[in-house]
């Protein structure tokens, strides 16, 4: 099976712009989670989607949003970009085997905000 | 919210020695504890996990122990090899795939 894929892999934006990142889960996986990884804060949970519904969210401002489509692909959007949003954004997918499942990570999108 | 503390932040061992990384968590509602290995420039890869109803799990050279009462869990790597060098993350998970991660341990295995 193909692994989790993310597009684009690299992105450069300027402050105030918005950005949309995409994640395609492993075939058959219906849960998609998003994480922000920075050297200072480590891996931080953004939100999780299952069957097009957000089931959980972390402690990020409303500028960070996401959605999931009927084919389980997911997008996350960051509006009004700030310098501090520069990070590696990882998505992870999992099977709906239970209330909590093994996460398979994608390669990430490296976002740089200038 | 949950707080996961991971120690040490860096660990250097000689090839063949054992390595131990420890994590503590604060919320007793956490019920799933995975460990990930992340090599430079690559995605995190699950190496072992343990659920809250189990005290210990082993997979070849890797083992994880969980003490629910004390709210801590540990990763043990025996007979370390240079290819074990990477950053290791622990995590505490809640229902519906919400995870809190430790800050990471950079393991260096010297040949």
What does the pLDDT read at residue A40? Answer: 81
Nearest to A103 among B46, B95, B100 (CB): B46
Q: Is B44 on the interface with A (CB under 8 A)?
A: yes
The rounded distance, in Å, linking the Cα atoms of B7 and B17 is 18
Instruction: Please tell me if residue A6 touches chain B, with a CB cutoff of 8 Å.
Output: no
Q: What is the reported pLDDT for A44?
A: 94
Between CA B52 and CA A51 the distance in angstroms is: 26
* CA A16/CA A31 separation, integer angstroms: 30
pLDDT along chain A (114 residues), means of 10: 92 97 95 93 92 92 97 97 97 82 93 97
CB contact under 8 A, B43 and A99: no
pLDDT tens digits for range B35-58 = 999 999 899 999 999 988 889 999
Q: List, for chain B, all residue ranges whose pLDDT scores fall below the cut of 50.
A: none
Contacting residues of B for A100, CB less than 8 Å apart = 31-32, 93-97
CA distance A112 to A81: 10
A85 touches chain B (CB under 8 A): no
Strands B10-14 and B105-110: parallel
User: What's residue B98's pLDDT?
Assistant: 87
The CA distance from B5 to the nearest CA of chain A, in Å, is: 12
CB proximity list for A39: less than 8 A, separation 6 or greater: none
Q: Which residues of B touch A58 (CB under 8 A)?
A: 98
Nearest CA-CA distance, residue B104 and chain A, Å: 7
Q: With an 8 Å Cβ cutoff, are A99 and B95 in contact? A: yes
* Chain B residues within 8 A of A5 when measuring between CB atoms: none
**Would you state the pLDDT for residue B8?**
97
pLDDT value at residue B95: 80
* CB contact A39 to B (< 8 Å): no
Residue A97 has what pLDDT?
64
- Measure the CA–CA gap between A83 and B60, rounded to whole angstroms: 44
**A45, A59, A107 member nearest B99 (Cβ):** A45
Q: How far apart are CA B105 and CA B111, in angstroms?
A: 19
């Amino acid at each position: 099976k193909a692994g989790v894929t993310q597009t684009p892999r690299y992105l450069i934006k300027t402050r105030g712009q918005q950005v949309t990142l995409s994640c395609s889960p492993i075939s058959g996986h219906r849960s998609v989670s998003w994480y922000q990884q920075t050297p200072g804060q480590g891996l931080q949970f953004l939100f999780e989607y299952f069957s097009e519904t957000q089931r959980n969210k972390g402690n990020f401002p409303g500028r960070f949003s996401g959605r999931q489509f009927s084919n389980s692909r997911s997008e996350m959007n960051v509006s009004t970009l700030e310098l501090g949003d520069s990070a590696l954004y990882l998505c992870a997918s999992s099977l709906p085997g239970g209330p909590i499942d093994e996460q398979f990570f994608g390669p990430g999108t490296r976002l740089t905000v200038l | 919210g949950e707080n996961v503390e991971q120690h040490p932040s860096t660990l250097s061992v000689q090839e063949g020695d054992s390595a131990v990384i420890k994590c503590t968590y604060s919320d007793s509602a956490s019920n799933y504890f995975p460990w990930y290995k992340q090599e430079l420039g690559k995605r995190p890869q699950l190496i072992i996990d343990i659920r809250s109803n189990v005290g210990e799990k082993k997979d070849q050279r890797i083992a994880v122990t969980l003490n629910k009462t004390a709210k801590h869990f540990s990763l043990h790597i025996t007979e370390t090899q240079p290819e074990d060098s990477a950053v290791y993350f622990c995590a505490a998970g809640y229902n519906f795939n919400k995870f809190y991660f430790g800050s990471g341990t950079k393991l260096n295995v010297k040949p």
